């Protein structure tokens, strides 16, 4: 029993505290001193508090922990990302900075760590394991080997080897990839995975290498197989298919899992949410509320080795969310490190000053010329069958398809016949470019150009006319990176991303407004996908099934091999 009235910096009075350990909910007051929970007290216990929050009718739960995500995918710099996601309840993240590192190498990682150091959100870091994502098949702005990885794993705040995306290299025994894995294992850090639908003996080889998590979309059968073998499922929104959820619930014991965001653009964050959104989808799909809450709090905290959070317990970090109920996950109030950081899903503070950065000159090419934008091939005049990328309206999976196009004078005559994707190498200034047809979308006259194109972030343009291709590409290059849609039958839209071509230095509301306009224009243009930005920006992700394109050509992802540009008849 306390012998004297307790003093506290913050008192959360009159709420119902939830235990992520037992599932019990009970009326209690929570006293906070500094950034720690001092006591969980019977209601009405006298406390001398500098600030009191009335939590009557609310549930007091731990703050949310995101165990796998990429800050750059929000299109925001770290401080702005923290400000808007804290308001949605995300108090801790493990950030894999492989977007900016593919552009700027070690300097990119160091800058992200420095920018995130003073945010109210706790940022822990993963060193990207695959820079470039598919070594030898694309041109990135940097290349990390095992020596780089070993040194960067010693940096402050770094706790993890980032997602090992080149899973084909792992299971085939590639020396470079295994040297990187060995460096991480010697350091004793966690190894995060990326292995969509990897199964059977190959999955066993991946696990044998020490990689024990996966955040990719899997079939229900593969998700169960991975869970059965003890691989931690990190379920982002697209992973929460009815089939996967039903299969997990049908198991004798619901396995541990984490809910993660992976990639969410700022307009979606401020409109529909961050981890709170993923948790809401999990609830809609039928996962139990306590399991969802544990997957947002205790389980990811344990995964990250952060035993000081993820629970409402004396002595733990005062990262807390006040909720209307266990099925309404957008916080009424977010407390981070003992201080109020958000109310009703909105930040309590305005944006800070624009960050300074050294990454404004990373687009090292001029605007493509008309000659550079011509699709030249070494084929005789006549009709030829070309391999195309067929996209879909649901996810980022691309299938091989075919289209017949005429060739005249060594140039493919594609206008009026198909949309194309062109990838211009931007890092060395050497001027390499690759083309392929795109199927599966009914696009108007225009072009979408972007330097936000996973993971090497070369200048990528999807176009239906050559003139629009040149205009959109020229504007993106003039900005030092960004996204621009040029339409011949509409206004189009654009968003400069001068921080390495992948992030804006502007406040979140401005970036959200621009990205929202761009998303709407893409839909009007005809690009129909649940997440248009990801669908477009992963056409170049050569580790994501099934066929992708880089600045060097088409890649068969599963075979880790080149795909011929033409189909033999």
- Each residue's pLDDT tens digit, 203-218: 999 999 999 999 999 9
**Residues near 55 by beta carbon (within 8 Å), at least 6 away in sequence:** 12, 13, 14, 15, 322, 333
Task: Note the Cα 457 to chain centre separation in Å.
Answer: 14
Alpha-carbon distances, residue 125 vs 7, 105, 211, 212 (angstroms): 35, 15, 17, 17
Which residue ranges does the chain devote to CATH 3.20.20.140? Answer: 69-287
What does the alpha-carbon distance between residue 179 and residue 190 come to, in Å, rounded to a whole number? 15
Asked whether the predicted pLDDT for residue 361 surpasses 60, the reply is yes
The arithmetic mean of pLDDT across residues 473-491, rounded, is 96
The rounded percent of the chain whose pLDDT value lies above 70 is 99
Class of domain 69-287: alpha beta
Radius of gyration of the chain (CA): 24
Residues 373, 466 contacting (CB under 8 angstroms): yes
Give the pLDDT confidence score for residue 1 in this predicted structure. 46
The span from the CA of 151 to the CA of 3, in Å, is: 51
Residue 337 has pLDDT above 50, yes or no: yes
To the nearest 10 degrees (0 to 180), the angle between helices 508-525 and 78-86 is: 90
Confidence of residue 365 (pLDDT cuts 50, 70, 90): very high
> pLDDT above 90 covers what percent of the chain?
97
Query: What is the number of residues in the chain?
Result: 569
Residue 322 pLDDT > 80? yes
For Cα atoms 33, 36, 37, give the angle at the middle one, nearest 5 degrees: 85
Question: Rounded mean pLDDT of 413-439?
Answer: 95
Condensed to tens digits (0 to 9), the pLDDT of residues 367-390 reads: 999 998 999 999 999 999 999 999
Q: What is the dihedral of CA 146, 147, 152, 155, to 10 degrees?
A: 130
Residue found under tokens 């890649």: 555
Residue 270 in this model has a pLDDT that exceeds 60: yes
User: Taking Cα atoms as reference points, which of 388, 460, 377 lies closest to residue 424?
Assistant: 460
Specify the pLDDT at position 568.
79
pLDDT tens-digit readout, 139-185: 999 999 999 999 999 999 999 999 999 999 999 999 999 999 999 99
The confidence band for 430, taking pLDDT boundaries of 50, 70 and 90, is confident
Q: What is the pLDDT of residues 98-135, one digit of tens each?
A: 999 999 999 999 999 999 999 999 999 999 999 999 99
* Mean pLDDT of all residues belonging to the chain: 97
| CA diameter of the chain | 94
| Structure confidence at residue 429 (pLDDT) | 86
Q: Is the pLDDT of residue 544 over 70?
A: yes
Q: Hey, which bits of 224-315 come out as E strands? A: 232-235, 257-259
- The pTM score is 0.97
User: If pLDDT is split at 50, 70 and 90, which confidence band does 308 have?
Assistant: very high
Q: How many helices (H) and strands (E) does the chain have?
A: 16, 29
């Amino acid at each position: 029993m306390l012998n004297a009235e307790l003093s506290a910096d913050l008192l959360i009075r009159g709420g119902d505290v939830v235990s992520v350990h037992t599932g019990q909910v009970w009326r209690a007051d929570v006293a906070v001193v500094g950034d720690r929970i001092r006591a969980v007290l019977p209601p009405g216990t006298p406390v001398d508090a500098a600030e009191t929050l009335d939590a009557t009718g609310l549930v007091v739960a731990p703050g949310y922990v995101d165990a796998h995500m990429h800050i750059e995918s929000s299109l925001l710099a770290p401080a702005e990302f923290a400000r808007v996601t804290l308001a949605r309840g995300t108090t801790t993240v493990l950030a894999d900075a492989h977007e900016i590192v593919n552009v700027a190498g070690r300097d990119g990682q160091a800058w992200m760590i420095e920018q995130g150091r003073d945010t109210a959100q706790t940022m822990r870091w993963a060193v990207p394991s695959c820079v470039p994502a598919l070594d030898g098949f694309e041109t990135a702005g940097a290349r990390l080997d095992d020596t780089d990885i070993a040194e960067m794993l010693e940096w402050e705040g770094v706790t993890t080897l980032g997602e090992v995306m080149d899973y084909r290299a792992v299971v085939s025994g590639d020396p470079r990839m295994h040297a990187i894995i060995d460096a991480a294992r010697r350091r004793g850090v966690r190894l995060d995975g990326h292995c969509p639908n990897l199964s059977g003996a190959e999955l066993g080889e991946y696990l044998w290498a020490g990689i024990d998590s996966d955040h990719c979309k899997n079939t229900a059968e593969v998700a169960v197989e991975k869970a059965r073998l003890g691989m931690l499922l990190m379920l982002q929104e697209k992973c929460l298919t009815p089939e996967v959820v039903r299969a997990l619930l049908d198991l004798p014991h619901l396995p541990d899992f984490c809910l993660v965001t992976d990639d969410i653009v700022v307009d979606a964050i401020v409109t529909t949410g961050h981890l709170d959104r993923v948790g809401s989808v999990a609830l809609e799909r039928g996962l139990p509320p306590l399991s969802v809450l544990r997957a947002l709090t205790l389980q990811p905290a344990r995964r990250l080795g952060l035993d000081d959070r993820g629970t409402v317990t004396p002595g733990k970090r005062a990262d807390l969310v006040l909720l209307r109920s266990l099925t309404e996950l957008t916080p009424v109030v977010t407390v981070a490190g003992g201080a109020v950081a958000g109310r009703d899903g909105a930040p309590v503070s305005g944006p800070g000053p624009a960050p300074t950065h050294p990454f404004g000159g990373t687009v090292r090419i001029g605007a493509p010329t008309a000659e550079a934008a011509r699709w030249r091939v070494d084929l005789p005049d006549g009709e030829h069958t070309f391999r195309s990328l067929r996209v879909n309206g649901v996810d980022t999976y691309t299938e091989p398809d075919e289209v017949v196009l005429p060739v005249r004078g060594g140039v493919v005559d594609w206008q009026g016949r198909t949309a194309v994707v062109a990838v211009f190498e931007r890092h060395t200034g050497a001027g390499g470019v690759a083309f392929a047809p795109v199927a599966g979308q009914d696009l108007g006259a225009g072009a979408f150009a972007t330097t936000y194109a996973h993971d090497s972030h070369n200048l990528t343009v999807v176009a239906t006319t050559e003139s629009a291709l040149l205009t959109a590409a020229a504007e993106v290059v003039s900005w030092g990176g960004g996204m621009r849609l040029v339409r011949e039958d509409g206004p189009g839209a654009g968003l400069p991303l001068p921080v390495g071509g992948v992030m804006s230095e502007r406040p979140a509301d401005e970036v959200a407004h621009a990205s929202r306009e761009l998303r709407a224009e893409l839909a009007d243009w005809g690009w129909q996908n649940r997440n248009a930005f990801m669908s477009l920006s992963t056409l170049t992700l050569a580790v994501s099934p099934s066929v992708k394109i880089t600045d060097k050509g088409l890649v068969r992802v599963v075979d880790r091999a080149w795909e011929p540009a033409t189909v033999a008849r």
